[in-house]
Structure formats: C-alpha cells, structure tokens
Amino acid sequence: MKTLPPRARATALLPPPALRAAALLAAVLAVAGCSHTGGLAGAGATPTAKGPVHLWPERKGATVPPADPGGAPPEYVKGIPPVKDGNVHGVDPVALVQAEVRNHQGAAVGPDGMPRETAAAILACPTGERPADPGTAKPGRCPVLTPYYRDLTGNDQDELIIGFELPDHQMSVRVYTADPDGRLNRIMATTDSVISVELAGRDVVLHVPSANPGYELNTAWSWDEKQRTMLPTREQIIRVPQRPGAAQSPRPLRPRRAADGGGPS
C-alpha cells in the first residue's frame, strides 16, 4: 500500500469545501441566536386606533365669531420719544413704565391696575440706570426688572419685554414693539401671581399657580398676525411634585388674570 506524505494525509482528513462552509454558517447563526443583541423583537399586537366620538351630536353648539380683519387697535405709549429704526434697545425701560403709569393714573383693575404704593415706587425710580436684576426687586427698591429682548412678531426686529413686581407675588409682564413711524406699541400686558416666566421660541410663557392645589397653569402668549397683538394661545395644567416641608404657593389676592392684548384698556 502506498504511504502518503504527512501534509497530504492531513489534507485528506479535512471535509470537502462545501461541508466546511455549511459548518461555519451554522456556527455563526448559533452564536447570533444566543446573543440576540440589537436585533428586532416583536412588541405584540398593536391596539386599534379609535377616533374621537362626537357626544350629543344633535345639540346646537355655541359659535365662534370670526376674527376682526382689522385687528386690535394699537395701544401706543404716549410720552416716549420716537424709536429710531425700530430698535427698541434704545428705549429706557424705567421711563417707559413711568409713562404708562402717568397715562393710566388711578387704574385699579385691568392690565394697568396696580396699588398706589407700587405706582409711587415706579415713579420714584431713577431713569437712565440699569434696572434691578430679575428677582431682586424688594420693597423700597425700584420694582422694574431688567428687560429682555426677543423677536416675537417675526419682523426681524427685537421686541421689548418688561416685567415689574407688585405685592403678594404678583407681577406685570408687558411687551412692546415699534412701528415704522417710531411709535412704541404695547402688544401684551398681563398681571398675575407669577411663579416664573420663560421665552420659548416666539412665545412668552407664564407659570402661575392653579386653582387646584399641587398644580400649576402654564399659559403661552403668541403673536397673532391678524389681530396685531399677542394672545394667550395655549394653556396647560401640570402637576407639581410637592417636596416635604415646602411652603404652598400663596393664592392670588386679586382676580387670577388681568390681561390685555394691546387694545384700549
């Protein structure tokens, strides 16, 4: 019998190439089946979507009057020099609020309503100086806070956002824009028991205590091109976790909201 060389004998003992490939594929599939990492997994049956059901369809509901195509009349601020090139950054915020107080002396309710002591404190504020940092206004100090600037109307020009403190955690938030003639137009004014204020895109969002304990009400004010003013467009009630020992937010002593979109008060 013919004896094969050692290398030839080892080659003869190996399986054919097709068998080797099948064995390798089986091993890879076995490893992949064991790990199952990153693969797709079934989530079970998907519940059938149910559309809204119109309750009491035979009832004749209330109607929404169409928006006035003329929009809200502008609330121009008297007693303020014309704004150059629509740039509200040059407006003295303290002098602006003082002009508003003088234009609406004695107002007790509505967006311009405020206690007499607050009006007196605003009129006593020095003009031409940097207002107090947000949240630092205290009794005896100027209630007008540092202004903010943001394009809220989409006209590529910043609007002027002003806030000032009132007693009992009340706060007035106002927004002003300049028209092509340099007149300063108030497009938002609201007074509320404010927890905090945010700018989200082109919206001014107010966080206020809800009438339900443990919840807060978030109201987003947005520019309405047709009305030419800012309106409360979205409201959301959010549950706030109460931390142990945390004091409950005081309830407003006045009506919860006094708002004006920019028209005459």
Task: Express each pLDDT in 106-144 by its tens digit.
Answer: 888 888 999 999 999 999 999 876 655 544 444 458 999
CB 150 within 8 A of CB 158: yes
Q: Is the pTM of this model over 0.85?
A: no
Helix, strand, or coil here: 222? strand
The answer, yes or no, to whether residue 177 has pLDDT greater than 70, is yes
Q: How far apart are CA 45 and CA 145, in angstroms?
A: 56
Cβ-in-10-Å burial (0-12, 13-18, 19+) of 223 comes to buried
Work out the percent of the chain whose per-residue pLDDT is above 90: 55
**pLDDT for res 256:** 42
| Mean pLDDT value of segment 91-96 | 95
Which of 138, 132, 78 has its CA nearest to residue 105? 78
Helix or strand holding residue 11 (H, E): helix 6-13
| Mean pLDDT value of segment 64-73 | 81
The answer, yes or no, to whether residue 33 has pLDDT greater than 90, is no
The domain limits of the chain are 75-260
| Mean pLDDT value of segment 51-55 | 88
Which of 104, 138, 108, 146 has its CA nearest to residue 121? 138
